Chains A and B, each alone.
Chain A
Amino acid sequence: MSLSSLLIQMISGLSEASTLFLISVGLSLIFGVTRIVNFAHGSFYMLGIYLSYTLVSRFGDTASGFWLATLLSALTVAVIGALIEMTVLRRIYHVPELFQLLATFALVLVISDATLYLWGPEELLGPRAPGLSGSISLLGHRIPQYDLVLMAIGPLILVGLYLMLNLTRWGTLIRAATQDREMVGALGINQHWLFTGVFALGCFLAGLGGALQGPRVPANLLLDIEAIGTAFVIVVIGGMGSITGAFVASLLIAQIKALCYGIGTLTFFDVVIPLNQMTLVIEFLVMAIVLVVRPWGLLGRALPPSRQAPQSEPMLTPASKGVRWFGALIALVLMMVPTFSESFPYLITLSVDMLIAVLFAASLHFIMGPGGLHSFGHAAYFGLGAYGAGLLVLMLGLPMELAMILGPLVAALGALVFGWFSVRLSGVYLAMLTLAFAQIVWSVIYQWNGFTGGSNGLIGIWPSDWLASPTAFYYLTLASVIISVLLLRFGLFAPFGFALRAGRDSALRAEAIGINVKRIQWYAFTIAGLFGGVAGTLFAFSKGSISPEVISVSRSVDGLVMVLLGGINTLSGPIAGASIFTLLHDTVMRETTYWRAVLGLAVLTLVILFPTGIVGSAQAIGERIKSHLLNRQRGGQLNGAGNAQQSGGDPR
């Protein structure tokens, strides 16, 4: 490859950088002020593309029409964003961040299905910009004129934002709120409008980023997740809340990608590394490195400590006699399932699905509940287990029994490596790093056609003959899941589990009594990965084929929903949650094309009505009744829990 073509790659990297900056800067702005990591940001970008397709197709015959239509698309996205902020986000500013992440992910699902409904499933490529469809010649290469315009737009937006933030009263308030929004409120500023305004501005920028891509990228329904992945990477590298950081990170990532495309393949001691096919992996690798070296990003800074009173977690108690008998009864019922297979042929398949989901949820709960580490990438270990076992069977011809053991070990190995990095972080940063690791695994499997089958996946992963019958495989699954769940439970009531919970509740105190908190969390992460891998391995053999879908973001989120549905503070919660979720998923949701929207709305309802989870809500109601009675006895005025509820509704 010549130097000039590398140079050209880097120049077109500049227009890519503008695009990345537009996608991500709004996310950073919104996080800075509201402290919400908005999963739906990529969805607003996607809406921008679809809207520009419609509007530019109609009004974009002239240059002024094109740019007005582009602007109008972005403004429409801003209005949609403002409406969503007022109806949904306002209700969740005070809930734990895990619920905020879930709620915004639910928005992704709803917006995705709304887009499907409005524009249909086909890819739609918008018309080119009038007057800019040509290209200029540079060093013997051609660069599209439109790219030159994009190149200029990024820095222009950066300067515009900078001036707005530094020279207007509104900008001053935004910067103040980024640092201490409670104090801004105590100085008489109505944060509702500040938050709505910032959210609308962020959505406008995402919508503009999308609308500008209209002539270059066909609108399709995968863009939301793709864009949010990229935006996370940029924002985390640049530093959450830093605008300049987002710009620097966009340049960095765009140039690294340009370099990868420019170099093509790299041969290193006879090993051919196809850099141009590894851009996704490299993107996430850069992010992981930055997170470990500078956890707050290149230009970010540590978050101010939360001023909310810490929430005390209810104790976990070992199963009482009644619960044990109930568990045994359920196990007995489960053993009888195959006898009904004559009358309900689908029952065995459904039961296997449920059992696998139970183990997946229980392993996630292990690290999330007692561990306090909110992993957004647990599907990575499910997928590693599935692909590990599948590849061992198909490539090395190992017997299924051996693969059943080695598959989970592959997952545990992955968790050992990723966990080492992850436990160094906490809160949203941990959530994003675990998500990034899952996306790395996903992109390796998705892009590595020759080894993993790429997007087609692997087929023909069948159990050995003696386990091939549905009944035999059902019993194998049942035994594996029961043993695994009991082992996880056992771990939680062993000294290891006590140390883990001590580390969650007070890391400092736990360390003061000699517990190596990070190490315990690392082990727990690995154990969770191992059992997630068991679930994945079982899944591979139960279906006979797997695809990259087993590692998708939505599978990770499914796991979170299962755990939260049942309640994060109980051990039987994830079991019940996973069963109900799978039952609904396999029955109700298959009936409609728009099951994502159904799931999304269900999650939103869950988060808004039960912001502290089902168990937490029950406790809150109990306390409200108690303080109600107490107040009445005193004859005092009743403004206790109700009042607290009301003030809790204000963003803080």
Chain B
Amino acid sequence: MKPIQTLLEVNDLNAFYGRAQILFDVSLKVGRGEVVALMGRNGAGKSTTMKTIMGLVERRTGTVRFRKEAIERLAPFRICQRGLGFVPEDRRIFTDLSVMENLEVGRLSERLDAPYWDENKLFKLFPNLGEMPNRPGGQMSGGEQQMLTISRTLMGNPYLVLLDEPSEGVAPLIVEQMAEMIVELKKQGLSVLLSEQNIHFAKLVSDRAYILENGQVRYQGSMRDLAADEVTQQKYLSV
């Protein structure tokens, strides 16, 4: 097996909301072409980890290296421009803007060594979206909005996407579609850090997994090992 080139490396990440500390020395890595699951129960710190990597949490310490460059001091827009995409958990669709306009906001120029996306390619991946190019974002179902927010981020042609709970609040049929979509993205060469509570979803798509509890990394290993490890699942994931 050839060694995987590290794309994202997070070391000793701490994050604070006001006076409360949310993350405690979180460290993780994502390699090129990998899908890595960031797991844990509600409130474990998954979303905060992603927001902090993205520069969206003001008070933070620790280092974040992306493609060998330190990005922990950069503003969110500069981080995104370097090819690190973020899909927020609450989707944050621009409700007044049409599907096409939402995609337009996410458009960045092409990168040589990252998969390239445009409207046509995305509509092939998400046929539902292609059927409603002019519909305002506010008038779409939860599943459709989820597809749109992912597509919007892909318009920036990222190397790696921070995908925050894509299966949350969408119909079971769509969840299946989401899993297929992630596998497809991986095939195209995209790396993904996926935050997820549900082991059944995560094991369909992920190579490795980290588990967070109370803002700390409690487990890391291959997805295959975790899927077989009932005790760890019971301890950190069961509700």
Which residue numbers of A lie inside 8 Å of B, CB to CB? 169, 172-173, 175-176, 178-180, 182-191, 309-312, 627, 631, 636-637, 639-641, 643-644, 646-648, 650
- Given A172-B104, A187-B105, A643-B60, A650 and B97 touching (CB < 8 A)? no
Selected contact of B105 from candidates A173, A182, A640, CB within 8 Å: A173
12 further interface pairs, Cβ-Cβ under 8 Å (given A183-B88, A188-B80, A644-B59): A172-B105, A175-B94, A185-B75, A185-B80, A188-B106, A637-B61, A639-B62, A639-B63, A640-B61, A643-B72, A647-B55, A647-B58
Whether B18 pairs with A309 at a CB distance below 8 angstroms is yes
Interface flag for B200 (CB, 8 Å): no
What would 26 A/B residue contacts be, using CB atoms closer than 8 Å? A173-B105, A175-B94, A175-B97, A175-B101, A176-B101, A176-B102, A176-B105, A179-B97, A180-B94, A185-B76, A185-B77, A185-B80, A186-B86, A187-B77, A187-B80, A187-B105, A189-B105, A309-B17, A309-B58, A636-B62, A637-B61, A640-B59, A643-B60, A647-B55, A647-B58, A647-B60
How far, in Å, is A527 (CB) from chain B's closest CB?
A: 31
**Is the CB of B168 closer than 8 A to any CB of chain A?**
no
How far in angstroms is the closest Cβ of chain B from A167? Answer: 10
Look across to chain A and name the residue whose beta carbon is closest to the beta carbon of B86.
A186
In the complex, the answer to whether A186 meets B94 with C-beta atoms within 8 Å is: no
Given A185-B75, A636-B12, the answer on whether A312 and B88 have CB atoms closer than 8 Å is: no
Contact B92–A637 (Cβ < 8 Å): no
Complex contact A172–B101 (CB within 8 A): yes
Question: Could you say which interface size class chain B belongs to?
Answer: 35 or more
Whether A189 touches B77, Cβ cut-off 8 Å, given contacts A169-B104, A643-B60, is yes
Closest 7 interchain pairs by CB?
A: A188-B80, A640-B61, A644-B59, A650-B75, A183-B92, A309-B17, A185-B76
B97 touches A310 (CB 8 A): no
Residue of A nearest to B61 (CB): A640
**Are B80 and A186 in contact, CB atoms less than 8 angstroms apart?**
yes
Given contacts A169-B104, A172-B104, A643-B60, contact A188 B88 (CB under 8 A): no
Question: What residues on B are CB-neighbors of A641 within 8 Å?
Answer: 59
Contact bitstring B87-102, A, C-beta under 8 A = 1, else 0 = 0100010111100011
Partner among B19, B62, B104 whose Cβ is within 8 Å of the Cβ of A312: B19
In the complex, what's the smallest C-beta–C-beta distance from B97 to chain A, in angstroms?
A: 6
Chain A contacts of B102 at CB under 8 A? 176
Q: Is the interface of A mostly helix, strand, loop or mixed?
A: helix
* Cross-interface CB contact of A188 among B17, B104, B108, cutoff 8 Å: B108
Is A180 touching B92 in the complex (CB atoms < 8 A)?
yes
| Cβ–Cβ contact B97 & A172, under 8 A | yes
Given A172-B105, A175-B94, A175-B96: A190 and B77 interface contact (C-beta under 8 Å)? yes
**Beta-carbon contacts under 8 Å, B57-73 to A:** 58-63, 72-73
A90 to chain B, nearest CB (A): 12
- In the assembly, what is the distance between CA of A474 and CA of B60, in Å? 55
Is there contact, CB below 8 Å, between A187 and B101? Answer: no
Using A169-B104, A309-B17 as known contacts, say yes or no to A179 and B12 having CB atoms under 8 A apart: no
B101 touching A191, Cβ below 8 Å: no
The distance from the CB of B200 to the nearest CB of chain A, in whole angstroms, is 29
A169 to B100, CA, bound (A): 11
Tell me the bound Cα distance from A178 to B94 in angstroms. 9
A178 to B96, CA, bound (A): 10
Tell me if B153 is interfacial: C-beta within 8 Å of chain A. Answer: yes
Instruction: Collect the chain A residues with CB atoms within 8 Å of residue B101's CB.
Output: 172, 175-176
- Using CB atoms, name the residue of chain B closest to A301: B96
Once the chains bind, are B94 and A179 in contact (CB under 8 Å)? yes
B128 interface hit (Cβ, 8 Å) = no
B204 on the interface (CB 8 Å rule)?
no
Take A179-B96, A309-B17, A643-B73 as given contacts and tell me if A187 and B61 are in contact as well, using a CB distance cutoff of 8 Å.
Answer: no
By the criterion CB–CB under 8 Å, are B76 and A639 in contact? no
Asked if A312 and B18 sit within 8 Å, CB to CB, the answer is yes
Q: Is the CB of A182 within 8 A of B108?
A: no
Residues of B within 8 A of A173 (CB): 105
Q: In B93-130, which residues have CB < 8 Å from any A CB? A: 94-97, 101-102, 104-106, 108
Complex Cα distance, B58 from A587, in Å, reads 43
Contacts of A184 in B (CB 8 A): 105
State the CA gap A180–B108 with chains docked (Å). 19
Rounded to whole angstroms, the CA-CA distance of A637 and B64 in the bound complex is 11
Contacts of A644 in B (CB 8 A): 58-60
Given A184-B105, A639-B61, A191 contacting B94 (CB threshold 8 A):
no
User: A187 to B17, alpha carbons, bound, how many Å?
Assistant: 23
Rounded to whole angstroms, the CA-CA distance of A637 and B11 in the bound complex is 10
Is B81 among interface residues, defined by CB-CB distance under 8 A?
Answer: yes
What chain B residues lie within 8 Å of A627 (beta carbons)?
61
